[in-house]
Amino acid sequence: MRTAYDTVAAAYQRSMPDTRPEDPLDLAMLDSFIASVSGQPVLDAGCGAGRISRYIADRGGRVEGVDLSPEMIAQGRAAHPDLDLSVASITDLPHGDASFGGVLLWYSTIHLAPADLTRALDESTRVLVPGGYLLVAFQSGVGTRDLFQSYSRHGHDVSLERYLRTPDQVAELLVARGLSEQTRLVRRGNAIDQDDQTMLLHRAGTV
């Protein structure tokens, strides 16, 4: 996955520099997350080139972004030199327990096999403060998607697989980690991405 995103980083940044690909409903969920966190620090876990970190920061959020791909982070730092973006894996976050009021997993778990998804959710929960919020977005459904053809059309020879999961499957994983569901949005696919899109906003328990 790191190699694939290093390969496509520059093209990705050119084609998706900001939130224009997002539906207004997607942005409404992000706005709700930002409002819920209410000024506490946010971790954009799997931030890519920082376009969602930019969105959060422009709305007054205190955000830090991490991504597995050094090239994605390089693109992000060039585009957003004022943002705190660094290389790290969402399955092994370099942060202490209870460091963030909010954790964002914005389409950053879609390439994770089940065992890696488990580790990513464990880590995201670990770094949340009691009462903190986690927002996860993903293409939902059943099975997998081979993304080779999607990237080959743009001249990139990369191997990358997307895992589809149902909203209930992911929600159950979060509830099992002590988070309670606050809001669920399931948006049907469109011409850009035919898979359904799911956003789940959950809250950690309080001590």
pLDDT (0 to 100) of residue 109: 94
State residue 142's pLDDT score.
86
- Report the DSSP pairing between strands 179-187 and 196-204: antiparallel
Q: What is the C-alpha separation between 144 and 162, in angstroms, rounded? A: 5
∠ at Cα 150 (71, 154), nearest 5°?
65
Q: Domain of residue 123: give its range.
A: 2-204
What pTM, to 2 d.p., does this model score? Answer: 0.90
Provide the CATH number for the domain around residue 55: 3.40.50.150
pLDDT profile of the chain (207 residues), mean per 10: 63 79 93 96 96 96 96 94 97 97 96 94 98 96 67 51 92 97 91 84 90
Cα–Cα distance between 91 and 101 in angstroms, integer? 19
- The count of domains in the chain is 1
What pLDDT score was predicted for residue 151? 46
Q: How far apart are CA 172 and CA 181, in angstroms?
A: 9
Which residues on adjacent β-strands are paired with residue 199? 137, 185
Identify the three-state secondary structure at position 101. strand
Confidence at residue 1, expressed as pLDDT on a 0 to 100 scale: 56
Long-range contacts of the stretch 63-66 (C-beta < 8 A, 24+): 64/100, 66/90, 66/93, 66/94
Give one DSSP letter per residue of 137-155, joined into a string. Answer: EEEESSEEEE-HHHHHTTT
Q: Which candidate, 177, 198, 205, places its Cα nearest to that of 29?
A: 198
